[in-house]
């Protein structure tokens, strides 16, 4: 009996020890997989930064060489850079035996454990709440840091970047709320009385200098903070997480709208990503027919009937897309082909945008990186915003312009042998070079 009791007790002890061992083994294995997934995500981020470094070098090389710039458009360089990286490399069902064997050999020699997915996306929108602050031009300012300031409101019909951004943000918020209400009954029942325009007014009030916000709904916005004795920031946002500090914005609103905004300066408006609403805000004089023709030209006309007998690469009536390769293409379409605006008004509009720190372009300088590392069931995601600041132009050195003494004849009259004044030198345009990519905001496993 004692032997049976001892065997039973030992069996229980061994089983308990075995269970604890398996549990600890599973816990350690899970931690190792989580750590490996994190390492894969960090490796993906470094890979993306390396690709952006190559993008910077290529862009600067193209900017310095006009012939090279005419051959390689900046948009092509960006397209090559933002190609996603996926490991293990996926193979389609049509892959042949040679491709499958080559992939197997690559995976055997690879040192990567687990998998990774790296995406690089240009941030082409310009919905920056900080740009709702009224700005004025400052001579010699850094192209990466447009100076915010308050000034008198523009006259009727005059373009103002703060009004343009406010209208665009309002439109985006209204569309987001409308779409959410149509697809989510709970959201509709909870927030049917919420005014999206008031949310935008509060956001503008929050980022505007104290005492400078003037609006019909100012009292209603101020009451939100006075009731709780809270002082708004009255300064630009530095991170989208600050949206949670707005009294009228709850977690549902922030979650719905945070991906539509960027608090980082987007100084280049990607003309290949412009929407119909953005084009209308930039050029209010454009008609519906002209807008339709604009997008048919840029994005293609799926209803166009191709004629093989008249096929021609330069034929613009074949319905194929014609993405812009430079701002000159964009300008030619608006001014010459569609006659949306005049040369003078186009120049005036681009000047106003430049004063606000914005310009048209086909390749961006601000990118969002999403790097996801995987190891079995473990996953780790890193999101980062990376900026390539524009190199400030060199400060011009004033050159002395001495006036040579005029030669006079013996009778006191000026001689005719005075040398003519030297011709005024045409200033050489300074190439727009990028500095090294730098991470300006990062989220771990968000």
Write the pLDDT tens digit of every residue in 77-91: 888 999 999 998 888
pLDDT tens profile 37-48: 999 999 999 999
What is the per-residue DSSP string for 310-345? G--TT-TTS------SSHHHHHHIIIIIS--S-HHH
In angstroms, rounded to a whole number, what is the distance separating the alpha carbons of residues 206 and 400? Answer: 49
Rounded to the nearest integer, the mean pLDDT of the chain is 80
The pLDDT value recorded for residue 30 is 86
- Mean pLDDT for the stretch of residues 375-404: 79
Domain boundaries, the chain: 28-123+366-392+433-444, 127-264
Mean pLDDT of 394-419: 57
By DSSP bridging, strand 359-361 and strand 268-270 are parallel
Least confident of 117-131, 212-226, 417-431: 417-431
Starting at the edge strand found earlier in the chain, the sheet holding 115-122 runs 85-87, 115-122, 366-375, 378-387, 438-444
Lowest mean pLDDT among 72-81, 276-285, 325-334: 276-285
Q: How confident is the model at residue 363 (pLDDT cuts 50, 70, 90)?
A: confident
The b-or-e profile of 66-76 (16+ CB within 10 A means b, else e) is eeebeebbbbb
pLDDT at 152: 43
Lowest mean pLDDT segment, chosen from 27-31, 257-261, 394-398, 435-439: 394-398
Helix (H) or strand (E) holding 347: helix 343-355
**Tokens matching residue 275:** 């929407």
> Is 307's pLDDT higher than 80?
no
> What does the alpha-carbon distance between residue 267 and residue 277 come to, in Å, rounded to a whole number?
19
Checking 231-234 for CB contacts under 8 A at 24+ apart, the result is 232/205, 232/206, 233/206, 233/207, 234/206, 234/207, 234/208, 234/209, 234/210
Chain Cα centroid distance, residue 285: 27
Tokens of 50: 């390396």
Lowest mean pLDDT among 6-15, 31-40, 195-204: 6-15
Our CA angle for 396, 398, 400, nearest 5°, is 155
More confident residue, 76 or 382: 382
Mean pLDDT to the nearest integer, 132-156: 49
Q: Which of 76-85, 162-171, 250-259 has the lowest mean pLDDT?
A: 162-171
Res 154: pLDDT = 47
**With the C-alpha atoms ordered 277, 192, 253, 246, is the resulting torsion angle positive or negative?**
positive
Whether the predicted pLDDT of 135 surpasses 60: no
pLDDT at 142 over 60: no
Beta strand ranges found along 209-358 (DSSP E): 268-270
Of 40-49, 99-108, 119-128, the poorest mean pLDDT is in: 119-128
300: left (phi over 0), alpha (psi -120 to 50) or beta: left
């Amino acid at each position: 009996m004692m032997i049976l009791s001892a065997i039973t007790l030992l069996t229980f002890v061994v089983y308990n020890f075995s269970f604890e061992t398996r549990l600890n083994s599973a816990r350690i294995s899970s931690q190792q997989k989580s750590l490996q997934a994190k390492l894969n995500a960090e490796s993906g981020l470094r890979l993306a930064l390396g690709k952006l470094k190559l993008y910077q070098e290529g862009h600067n090389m193209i900017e310095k060489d006009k012939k090279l710039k005419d051959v390689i458009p900046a948009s092509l360089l960006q397209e090559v850079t933002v190609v996603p990286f996926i490991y293990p490399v996926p193979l389609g069902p049509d892959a042949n035996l040679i491709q499958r064997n080559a992939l197997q050999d690559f995976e055997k020699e690879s040192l990567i454990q687990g998998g990774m997915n790296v995406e690089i996306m240009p941030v082409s929108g310009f919905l920056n709440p900080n740009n709702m602050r009224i700005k004025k031009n400052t001579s010699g300012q850094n192209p990466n840091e447009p100076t915010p300031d308050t000034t008198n409101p523009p006259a009727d019909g005059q373009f103002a970047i703060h009004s343009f951004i406010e209208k665009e943000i309002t439109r985006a918020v209204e569309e987001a709320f409308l779409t959410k209400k149509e697809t989510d009954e709970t959201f509709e029942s909870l927030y049917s009385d919420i005014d999206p325009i008031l949310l935008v007014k509060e956001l503008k009030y929050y980022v505007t200098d104290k005492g400078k916000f003037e609006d019909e709904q100012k009292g209603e916005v101020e009451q939100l903070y006075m009731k709780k004795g809270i002082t708004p920031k009255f300064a630009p946002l530095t991170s989208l997480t600050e949206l949670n500090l707005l009294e009228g914005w709850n977690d549902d609103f922030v979650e719905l709208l945070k991906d539509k905004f960027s608090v980082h300066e987007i100084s280049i408006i990607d003309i290949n990503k412009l929407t119909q609403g953005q084009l209308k805000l930039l050029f209010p004089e454009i008609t519906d027919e002209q807008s339709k023709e604009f997008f048919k030209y840029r994005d293609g006309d799926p209803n166009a009937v191709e004629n093989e007998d008249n096929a021609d690469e330069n034929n613009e009536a074949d319905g194929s897309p014609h993405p812009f390769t430079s701002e000159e293409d964009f300008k030619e379409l608006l001014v010459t082909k569609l006659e949306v605006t005049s040369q003078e008004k186009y120049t005036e509009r681009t000047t106003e945008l430049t004063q606000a720190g914005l310009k048209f372009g086909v390749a961006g300088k601000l990118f969002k990186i999403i790097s996801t590392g995987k190891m079995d069931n473990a996953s780790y995601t890193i999101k980062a915003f990376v900026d390539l600041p524009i190199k400030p132009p060199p400060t011009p050195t004033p050159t002395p312009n001495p006036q040579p003494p005029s030669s006079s004849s013996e009778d006191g009259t000026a001689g005719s042998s005075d040398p003519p004044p030297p011709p005024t030198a045409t200033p050489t345009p300074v190439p727009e070079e990028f500095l090294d990519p730098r991470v300006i905001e990062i989220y771990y496993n968000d």
